[in-house]
Each structure stands twice: as structure tokens, then as C-alpha cells.
Structure 1
């Protein structure tokens, strides 16, 4: 596993980030601990969770954070783990999609600190944006939390590039801490525009890529494996029949990329899923893909991408065919 320091921070994180929405819920506590232990054994140290994981399917609220907190305490490994969690979480069941007031953020941060059993969160994310709220309010609050020692650094998730640019410009002009990283939906497979039901999700596009390159802003993409689109040795017809849930990725561009991923994987002796992740690393800025695994075998396969790097021309060939 390769490591890289997140720009503008002192956080030295594994290039693969483990998504933990299933920790403590879909995976019971014993299996969750096994998954976390295996990730560490494979060289990983970067975890991504959220205050609301997985409230939609578990009676225990914030079960992901609570399970991670218990695991770190039992393993006594807090100083070796980079924990990122999210606040300002939307509550659609209550009709509250924007929860970014100072009071709401303070509430969420204190809950996360308690759930994780830590005094400081390494990387704190704003889970959504509220375009009607001045960026100065949120940056001021997060800056204060860094000064207070409650968080080390902070980033944004599902923000438009225009709002990210506005927030960073404000933080620099005010001499305050600013966003060090951005979370967006991004994988080698581009989703069909009409295939994403949640319109509050931000998808990586060319303008966002350009800003990341210009500002050297770290990208920590979710859905980086496109739901396993590149991990199944099926023909196009077989994949369309077997996995209709991946329909948002069914288009000629992605199936062309799938074919070239398999070609390159065969040439270098790597798993296609690892090659697809490695394409994301071939950027002029830091990238830490968030992976999701149901088994430790899948986890090992995905973590293999943590040390795989492709030449720029190979990554370009996979993406464009040229």
C-alpha cells in the first residue's frame, strides 16, 4: 500500500480509503472487526464514515462510527488510524436536506467525537452544501474547530466546483483554514445523467478535474468501483442481464473502457478491478478512492490497487482508446 500526505495537512493517509457504511450494520460487529483488521494488515489506515451511517437500515443510530470507535479502543490503534467522518448530514425523512447551521454542525461534531471515542477527528467533511448559506459561516465554524483541536483538517462532500472555489477563496482571503479535500461520485465508469436519482450528489466532471489540478486539491471519490462494474468477468449481454442495478453505467463508453481494462489487466497480471481504480491515480493531484467490500477477499483484491500505478499513456488508452 502506498501512502501520501494530503496536501495542506500533516495527514499521511493510505492511497486506498475504506468506506464503512456497512460496518456494524450489514456486517455484524465480529465481521466488521475482521474487515477493519484485514484492511490494516493490508497496509490501509484511512477510514471514511459518517454520523448517519447506516441509520437507514439499523436501529442503532450512528452504528458505523460507534463500531469504529469500539474497534480502535480495543485495538489501541487510534494514533495509527486516519478517521474521516461527515457532519451536516441530510435527513430526508424529516424533509431536512440542508443542515449546515452553526448549531447543527456543532451538534453533529460533538456526536461524532463521542461515537468515535476520540478527542480529535482527523478529517471532517461537510456532507452536503446549502447554496443559500454564505460559505463564510461554514468555513468560520470549521476553522474554529481546528483551532480548538476538535478536528485536524476538513473537506467538502457533494459540493459544486463553483462553491468549492468560493469557499477556498474566502478562507485564503481571511487567513483561515480551508478545504483540503473534496468528495464526489467518480469512477472510471461515467454514470448516465438520468441514472442518478439523488440530485444532491456531485459527479466528477471536467471543470472539477481542472480545479483539482489547478489548486492541487485532493480528491476522495465515493462509488469509485462503480458498484463492481469492472469486477465481473461477464460479457456485455451477461452483465446487463445479471446486474440491472448497474444500469446507470450501461453505455458504449463504459463498455469500451471495460474491454480495455480487461486487456491491460491481462497484460500486467492484475485484477481488472484494481486496474480500474489505478486509472484514478493517474492524475496530477492526490487521489484516495473510497472502496467498499462485502468480504475480506474482495477487500484484498481492491487494496491491490493501492500499490498499482499505470503509465499516463496506459491510463489515457483505457479512458479514450487512443
Structure 2
């Protein structure tokens, strides 16, 4: 499996990143099995957040870590998601959320931390100062931004470079072969061509959520199957079905599955990419592992994305 080197992070990040939004202590046995199987296919990084399952995701990962497993995995958690009172991007709330997250994770630090959302009314200068405090105190090794615009990322990293601060080491929008017509959740950002161009130029790593388009490419859905309202709302249009058809044809030619081609698309960009995946059993994990092995040419990536 490919790996991505992040400055100040001890262990390189695997190109497959295990999603954990369904983890809870109530299904701890399944959580343990999935994490162990993920490591078996070469994965080494798990994604969670302060808000996932009301905090139960972090707690379940903490239970697994507490079994002597801390050195086997990179932990990436997130804070700063809006709550019922609005944005939480401020120094005190971020500090409290990270403290709670570390307690749940039974860890003194995490390798990766990200702001779950942006609050454009807050100066990037202030945000960087707050996050650098956590780097200096060794609570986090590196930080990134989830669902931030290119303009805010660029502004932040320019300021960091000029002032000798750590900047954002990665970005985490949605990148998938199926293009979102509208945000899957409020405030979410999906990659457009401007963002692709910026990442190609900057080479900032991108860790994609919903990298397989929420199951659009599993084969369970067709043009006439409208049962999943969210998929219909976000991904159903003629262009995405054409991408589906082309990916299906390429999968047949390569002797692999459609969903593996969709995953390979994310991992074969011209800049470092990781894909957050959500398998719930060994068979699905093995499929992701196979998808991560596929090499696509620049021409194949362009063709399945309707760029040629």
C-alpha cells in the first residue's frame, strides 16, 4: 500500500484511512475485528471525530488502543464542528474538545488533527496560533482542514510560512469519481477543478471523505432505483451515470470490480491522496485493499472522469 509522508508525523500515513463513524463500545467486538483486519491489509491510520456517534467512536477506538495497540495505528481526530449554538472555531472550545477527545482515545496525543469545518469570520492568523499551541505542547503532531476552501487554505499557509509557524499539512474535502451536485451535509466541500489544479500545484496531500461516493459504485443502485434519497439528491445525473458506465467498462478490462476502480480513481491523482473508507467486514476491507493496488494511467483517469 502507498504511504504519504506528513511533516512531523512519525509514521507515514497509509493511502487507505479507516472511517469509524459507526464505531461504538456497544459493538466493540466488531470494532476490534475491523481495525485488526484493516491493519492486516496494510492500513495504519484511522479517522474519527469529536462528534462521531456522539463521542462513542473515539471511545471505541480508545478501548481498542487500551489493549496495548497504540503503536499499531495513527489516530486522526477532528474538532470544530458546529453545534446547536453555531460555530465552535474558537480557542477555548477547540482546546476543550481536543482534551475530551484525547481522554476518550486513552492517548496523550494524536498524529493528525483537523478542523471539521471552517468559520470564515475567524482570522486564519488566530486559528494557526491556536493550533500551533497544540503542536508545541505535543498534543498533536500535525493538523489539517476538513471542508475548507482553497482560498482559506492558501491564506493560512502563506501566513504560516511568513511567520515561522506550522501550517495545514493536509486538506480533507470530498473527492470521488461521482461529482456531488450539492453538499451531502451542510457546510461540506467537494472538489472542483479549481481545487484539483491547486492541489496539483501545491502538492498538499488530500484525504477524501466519501471517497467511494457513499456506495454509488457498489452496483446496488441503478438509474431507475431511487430508494436512497440522499444519493439521488447528490449524485444522480447523466454525467455521473456516464462515469459509472466508463468505470464499469474499465473494471471489466482490468478484471476487477467497479467499486475498486472508483477507489483507484481517488488514489491515482497527480498529487498525494488518501481515501477514507467505511468497510464493515473483512470482505469489504479486502476489496478496498485490492482497489488501492490498482494503477491507472493519466489517460484512464481522464477518460473515466469524462475529461477525454
Q: Does 1:46 align with 2:45?
A: yes
Whole-Å Cα distance in 1 between the matches of residues 253 and 219 of structure 2?
A: 18
- Structure 1: 5+ residue runs without aligned partners? 56-61
| Alpha-carbon distance in structure 2 between the residues aligned to 1:224 and 1:157 | 14
1:270 equivalent to 2:269? Answer: no
- 2:133 corresponds to which residue? 144
Q: Which residue of 1 aligns with 2:2?
A: 2
Deviation digits for residues 118-158 of structure 1 (CA, Å, limit 9, x no counterpart)? 11110000111111111111111111211111110000011
Query: Where does the alignment leave 5 or more consecutive residues of structure 2 unmatched?
Result: none
For residues 16-95 of structure 1, what are the structure 2 equivalents within 5 Å?
A: 16-24=16-24, 28-55=27-54, 62-74=55-67, 76-91=68-83, 94-95=84-85
Matches within 5 A, 1:286-297: 286-297=272-283
TM-score, length-scaled by structure 1: 0.90
The reply to whether residue 118 of structure 1 matches residue 117 of structure 2 is: no
For 1:246, which of 215, 231, 234 is the aligned residue?
A: 231
The CA distance in 2 between the partners of 1:139 and 1:318, in whole Å, is: 38
> After alignment, is 289-298 or 159-168 more displaced?
289-298
8 Å contact 2:8–2:141 — kept in the other structure? Answer: no
* CA–CA distance in structure 1, aligned partners of residues 104 and 79 of structure 2: 13
1:296 positional shift? 2.8
How far apart are the structure 2 equivalents of 1:258 and 1:167? 36
For residue 171 of structure 1, the aligned residue among 144, 160, 164 is 160
Question: CA separation of 1:213/1:9 partners in 2, compared to 1, >3 Å: closer, same or farther?
Answer: farther
Measured on the aligned residues, the alpha-carbon RMSD in Å equals: 1.7
How far did 1:220 drift? Answer: 0.5
TM-score computed with the length of structure 2 as normaliser: 0.94
Contact 1:181 1:220 in 2 (8 A): yes
Is the contact between residue 18 and residue 46 of structure 1 (CA under 8 Å) also seen in structure 2?
Answer: yes
Summarize deviations over 1:177-217 as a string: whole Å, max 9, x none. Answer: 00000011221001123xx3633111111121122122111
Deviations 1:18-46 (A, max 9, x none): 11000117x71111111111111111111
